[in-house]
Amino acid sequence: LGADGPLGTGDYCVVLTDLLGAGWSTSPSNAAPGQEAAGFPQVSLLDNVRAQKALLDRLYGDDWQLALVTGWSMGGMQALFWAMAYPERMRAILPFCCTARCWPHNRVFLDGLKAALCADAAWQGGRYATPPERGLRAFGRVYAGWAYSQAFFRRELWRGLGFQSLDGLLDYWERDHLEQDANDLLCVLHSWQSADPARSFGVASLAEALGRIQARAILMPGSSDLYFTVADAGHEASLIPGAELRVLESDWGHCAGGPGREPRAMAQVFAAMRALLGRQ
């Protein structure tokens, strides 16, 4: 939220939800017997949004409207799905570093991550007795090359994160993914990779799905994001009535939008939030 951010003022009730399958909400790593591990059902972004809507209905009844739905990465994808699924339930959306659809190059990137993880002999089709540590390490190391931009590495911006060497950064990504559950990771990747608004809403085209959006919208792709590209986000913005494309300028790649990671990038996100909230 940020103490100096527009959502940290105390003027708003902020509702945060965790992604199904990511380890905190119901996930392969904590599901009931019979649905755990590789037996966990596949979950879509629309499933997540419907669950979030049910939560709000349970908490606030039928008479509520959201001032803003926002998020980074898959959180931003869900903001877009929210606006398509329940267009009357929010006044504005700010999805950043994301697209509504998982475009082909993005899908290829995710297939590479899955292949790195599942190549570990310990994977055992998700029914492993011990975690596939080699696969988890490979997943993290492969992802590190996509999470940032070429300029991030060329300018050695990783030093600002406290690392003394590039290997130190890569070792961190390996350790971080060793702490995650392999089935959880693949569950999340499925939700991401299967994002297809036209199919989710049973309509003929992406344009028809995005055309359902009524909320004021600022789409904010990262200028150096390698897989949620400005071109793809710009195409989607052109299909949303009245939407603004506002590029997040940063050399931090996809991680530019990570909350609290890059102050100059977050200042741009907060400015967009204020612009949307200030019009209400």
pLDDT at 280: 46
Domain containing residue 235: 37-278
Candidates 246, 235, 146, 248; CA nearest to 197 is 235
Q: What is the CATH number of the domain that holds 238?
A: 3.40.50.1820
Tokens of 237: 């913005």
Residue 221 inside a domain? The answer is yes
Residue 15 inside a domain? The answer is no
Which tens digit of pLDDT belongs to each residue from 123-144?
A: 999 999 999 999 999 999 999 9
H or E segment and range at residue 96: strand 92-96
The torsion angles phi and psi of 212, rounded to 5 degrees, stand at -75, -20
Residue 8 inside a domain? The answer is no
What is the four-CA torsion angle of 149, 150, 153, 157, rounded to 10 degrees? -50
Q: Which of 27, 29, 44, 254 is catalytic?
A: 254
Residue 77 inside a domain? The answer is yes
Lowest mean pLDDT among 151-155, 270-274, 276-280: 276-280
Q: Which of 120, 225, 232, 251 is catalytic?
A: 225
Q: What is the mean pLDDT of residues 171-177?
A: 97
Answer yes or no: is pLDDT of 91 > 90.
yes
Residues 6+ apart with CB under 8 A from 57: none
190 in catalytic set: no
- pTM check: above 0.85: yes
Give the total number of structural domains in the chain: 1
Residue 19 inside a domain? The answer is no
Q: What is the mean pLDDT of residues 15-30?
A: 93
73 in catalytic set: yes
Residues 6+ apart with CB under 8 A from 126: 28, 37, 38, 182, 183, 186
Q: Which of 29, 44, 73, 250 is catalytic?
A: 73
Position 188: which residue type? Answer: V
Residue 82 inside a domain? The answer is yes
Position 165: which residue type? Answer: S
Q: What is the mean pLDDT of residues 224-237?
A: 99
Answer yes or no: is pLDDT of 279 > 80.
no
Residue 154 inside a domain? The answer is yes
Residue 263 inside a domain? The answer is yes
- Measured in whole angstroms, the distance separating CA 25 from the mean position of its chain's CA atoms is 15
235 in catalytic set: no
